[in-house]
Amino acid sequence: ATPTALMVASGRGAQLGIFLKGHQALDASREVDTVVFDKTGTLTNGALDIVSVAVTAGHSHDNVVGAAATLEAASEHAVAKAIAAAADPDAGDVTDFVAEPGRGVRGVVGGRHVQVGSPRWVARGATVPTDLARARRDAESAGQTVVYVAMDDAVCGAIAVADTVKPSAAETVRELRRLGMRTLLVTGDNAAAAQKVADEVGIDEVLAEVLPDEKVARIERLREEGRVVAMVGDGINDAPALVTADLGLAIGRGTDVAIAAADIILVRHDLRSVVEALGLARATRQTIR
């Protein structure tokens, strides 16, 4: 892009809440033929609500939720915010806090080892009480996201949370497809929750239960196939994928890490900005001629 094209695009973009980091963004946006979406906080609102809490025998609801909420107070993940809001973070001092992107969080809360995260990660090497396994299965088949809570290495709780799809998501996907673009949903969440969102917004390629580096691998494969890939995401877990894509678009309410990794920042919550951002280069060219 010429400096003039960039200036014009930047001006137009700013009015639409679209911020370009440089001319590469403009050049890449012209060529994009594939758009990969993150799910939580990107296609969905990312304001999750707790739907149900199951606690196994020998544990109290308040202890499990209290410990989980106290630990999650230190995380900026959408699931964490829902859980942190469910109880006062007063289960004790948190030390040794570790957030593992795409998996969950762990740390010592009031002297006890607490872990909250994806069932696959928390249950690794542990026995899951049948009541919790059942609670997980029921919630996941309803398209909800489930996290397990473990205390001192014993899985003791299953928390189901639910999200809502952004009103602009279906229209955005429809428009991208009308423009001839291939669309994909790539998420760390469970397959049923991913499929539910994909059905609602009209995306037919879904890759679920993937870690951040597997999101990267999927994008690399698309590029090897000759696709020019835009990635739209909001979380720390999306940062590597945003960098790997030809064009990274970060949702402005996302994490600083995602914003730093992207080529384009979308300030608005409305996903139609994605279509506008991809059209910016084309529109600018016509304006200049």
Residue 129 corresponds to which tokens in the numbers above? 């009480």
| Angle formed at CA 86 by CA 84 and CA 87, multiple of 5 degrees | 85
Distance CA 20, CA 226 (A): 24
Tell me: does residue 56 bind ligand ADP (CB under 6 A). Answer: no
The answer to whether residue 105 forms part of the interface with ligand ADP (CB under 6 A) is yes
Picked from ligand ADP, Mg ion, none, the partner binding residue 147 (CB below 5 to 8 A depending on kind) is ligand ADP
Annotated catalytic, 49?
no
Active-site position among 27, 38, 93, 256: 38
What letters, b where the CB count within 10 A reaches 16 and e where it falls short, cover 148-180? Answer: bbbbeeebbbbbbbbbebbebbbbbbebbeeee
Site residues for ligand ADP, 186-245, by CB under 6 A, read 187-189, 235, 237
18: which residues sit within 8 A by CB, 6+ positions away? 264, 265, 266, 267, 273, 276, 277, 280
Q: Distances in Å between the alpha carbon of 173 and those of 28, 40, 273?
A: 19, 16, 12
- Specify whether the CB–CB gap between 182 and 227 falls below 8 A: yes
Q: How far is the CB of 71 from ligand ADP (least distance, A)?
A: 8
First to last CA, the chain: 13
Binding partner selected for residue 187 from ligand ADP, Mg ion, none, CB under the kind-specific 5 to 8 Å limit? ligand ADP
Stretch that binds ligand ADP, among 37-45, 48-56, 216-224, 263-271 (CB under 6 A): 37-45
Give yes or no for residue 145 binding ligand ADP (CB under 6 A).
Answer: yes
Would you count residue 48 as binding ligand ADP (CB under 6 A)? no
Instruction: Rank residues 103 and 196 by Cβ distance to ligand ADP and give the closer one.
Output: 103
In the complex, the residues that contact Mg ion under the rule CB under 5 A are 38, 40-41, 234-235
User: Does residue 248 belong to the site contacting ligand ADP (CB under 6 A)?
Assistant: no
Shortest Cβ distance from residue 1 to ligand ADP (Å)?
A: 31
Of residues 259, 264, 260, the one with CA closest to residue 276: 264
Nearer to ligand ADP among residue 75 and residue 244 (C-beta): 75
Q: Which of 63, 70, 115, 118 binds ligand ADP (CB under 6 A)?
A: 118
Amino acid (1-letter code) at residue 74: A
Tokens of 226: 């000759």
Q: Does 102 contact ligand ADP by CB under 6 A?
A: yes
Q: Does 183 bind ligand ADP (CB under 6 A)?
A: no
Q: Give the footprint of ligand ADP on this chain (CB under 6 A).
A: 38-40, 72, 75, 77, 79-80, 99, 102-105, 116-118, 145, 147, 187-189, 235, 237
Task: Show which residues are catalytic.
Answer: 38
